[in-house]
Amino acid sequence: MYYLFKSNTVELNQILYSIISVISISLSWSMKASLYILLWKKTESPFLLSLLTFFDMAPSLLIGIWSSVMVDRLSAPYLLIRTQALSSLMCMALFVCFHVFPGEIHYIFLIFIINGCIGALSQPARQAILSHISGRDGVHRFSSIQGTLFHLSGLIAMVITYFAETNAQIGALILLNAASYIAIVLFLALRVNAGIQPAADLQTHIKSPFAVEVTDAYNYIRTRRELGTSIVLLLIFSTLIRPIFELVPILASSFFPDSMPVSKVYITVSFGMLAGSLASARWKSLEPSLTIVSLILLFFCFCMMEISNSLLIKIVFCLISASLVSFTITNRVAVLQKLCAMQYIGRVVGLESVLRRATIAIGVLFYGICLGSFSFFLLISTSIFIAVILSWLLLDARIRKSGVDG
C-alpha cells in the first residue's frame, strides 16, 4: 500500500486528488448550506443571506490576484498546503463558536469573511494543480472530470445537509470538514515530490515586481483573442446568472410551495449542476455562441417555473436550468485552461477565478438589495436579457475584429 501511494504516476495522482477533493468539497458545501439554512430560518432576510455569500466571495478581489502570482512564483502544492491548514483551523474555530454561542448567528459573518480570504488564496492553486498534473493534452478532459466531481460533491453535500438539522449534527459536519482539509494537507505533503510538483521547465521563478507580473498576464490575455473572449463571457455569466443558484433559499420561496423544504431544492439544484458538468465532459464543441443558446433556454426554464402550478414541472425545469448554468461555466473554464500557456497558467487562471468569484459576490449582493423592491422572477428575466445582449455584442465585435485582421 505504501509503495502504491508513493508511485509516481499521473493517473494515480489524479485519482487520489479527485477522491480527496470529493470528500473535502462535499463536507465543505454541506457545512455552508447548513449555515445558510440556519440563517434563513432565523431571519428570512434576503439581504442578510446575500450579504453572507458576499462575505464569502468578495475577498477574492482583494487578495486573489496576489495569490495567483504566488502560484507561478512558488508552486500550486506549496500554496495549497498552507491554505488548507488554515481552513482546518478556521473550521475548529467555528466549531468552538457554534457551541459557545448556540443562540447567536452574527459570528458566522466573521467566519465567512475569513473563509473567503482563505478561498481566494487557495482557488488559483487548485485550478493550477489541474493543469500541472494532467498536462496540456489532457487538461480539457481532466478539467471536465473535475467539474463533474465538483458538482457530484455538491449533490452529496446537499443530501448530507438534508439530514443535518440539529446543532449537534451541524457541529459534527464542521469537525469532519476540518479533518478533510488535514487529509488534503497530508496528501500534498506526501505526494509533492512524486508528480504533482511542476516539472523544472514549468517553474518560472519570477523575480519581477508584482505589478509587472499581473500586467504581463493581462497583456498575454489581450494577445489571445479567444482566451479573452472566454474570460469575458464567464464574467458576464457569473455576474448576472450564477448568483441565482447561490441564493437557493430565496429560489425555493419564490418558485416552490412551502411544502418543498429548502434542503430538497438544494438537492435539485446540485443534481442539475452535476448533469451539466457531465454534459460538458461529453460535449466536444467549445464555441462561445453556446453561451447565448444556454441563456435563451435558461429564460424558458424560469418562465415555466413561474407559470406552472405543478411541483413536478417546477422541479424538472429547475434541474434543467441548473444544468445549463453548470454546462456553460464548465465549458468556458475548459476553453480557458486549454488555451493558456503553462508559464502563465497560475496568473491567468487565477485572475479569471478571482474575477469570477468577485463578480458572483457583486451579483449576489445586487440581487439581495433589489429583492426588497422587485420579484425574483423579474430580476432573473432582466439579468438574462442583459446577459444575452452583452454576449451578443462581445461575439459580434470578435467576429468583426477577426474579419478586419483577416
**pLDDT tier at 4, thresholds 50, 70, 90:** very low
Which grid coordinates are listed for 377?
422572477
Q: Which residue has the higher pLDDT, 197 or 264?
A: 264
33-42, 204-213, 301-310: which has the highest mean pLDDT? Answer: 301-310
Name the average pLDDT for the chain.
76
Element spanning 176, H or E = helix 167-191
Give me the pLDDT at residue 281, please: 65
Give me the pLDDT at residue 304, please: 94
**Residue ranges of domains in the chain, CATH in brackets:** 12-204+224-401 (1.20.1250.20)
Task: Report the distance separating Cα 291 and Cα 328, nearest Å.
Answer: 6
Give me the pLDDT at residue 284, please: 56
Which grid coordinates are listed for 57?
466571495
Residue 56 confidence (pLDDT) above 90: no
Residue 289 confidence (pLDDT) above 60: yes
Contact 53, 247 (CB under 8 A): yes
Task: Report the distance separating Cα 380 and Cα 134, nearest Å.
Answer: 37
Task: Report the distance separating Cα 10 and Cα 135, nearest Å.
Answer: 9
Grid cell 490575455 is found at: 221
pLDDT in tens, 352-404: 777 787 888 889 989 988 987 889 999 999 999 999 998 888 877 766 665 44
56-60, 66-70, 96-100, 314-318: which has the highest mean pLDDT? Answer: 314-318
Task: Tell me how crowded residue 1 is: count the other CB atoms within 10 A of its CB.
Answer: 5
| Helix locations, 241-287, DSSP H | 248-255, 262-282
Task: Tell me how crowded residue 107 is: count the other CB atoms within 10 A of its CB.
Answer: 15
Give me the pLDDT at residue 142, please: 62
Judged by phi (left if over 0) then psi (alpha if -120 to 50, else beta), residue 135 lies in left
Q: For the whole model, what pTM was predicted?
A: 0.74
Torsion of CA 77, 205, 199, 231, to 10 degrees: 70
pLDDT in tens, 265-281: 888 988 888 888 777 76
**pLDDT tier at 130, thresholds 50, 70, 90:** low
Contact 281, 147 (CB under 8 A): yes
Which grid coordinates are listed for 179?
479533518
168-172, 185-189, 199-203: which has the highest mean pLDDT? Answer: 168-172
Residue 298 confidence (pLDDT) above 90: yes
Sequential DSSP letters for 57-125 = HTHHHHHHHHHHHHHHHS-HHHHHHHHHHHHHHHHHHHHHHHHHSTT--THHHHHHHHHHHHHHHHHHH
- Residue among 281, 298, 346 nearest 150 (CA): 281
Give me the pLDDT at residue 27, please: 81
Give me the pLDDT at residue 118, please: 81
Task: Report the distance separating Cα 389 and Cα 381, nearest Å.
Answer: 13
Q: How many CA atoms lie within 13 A of 294 on its CB side?
A: 29
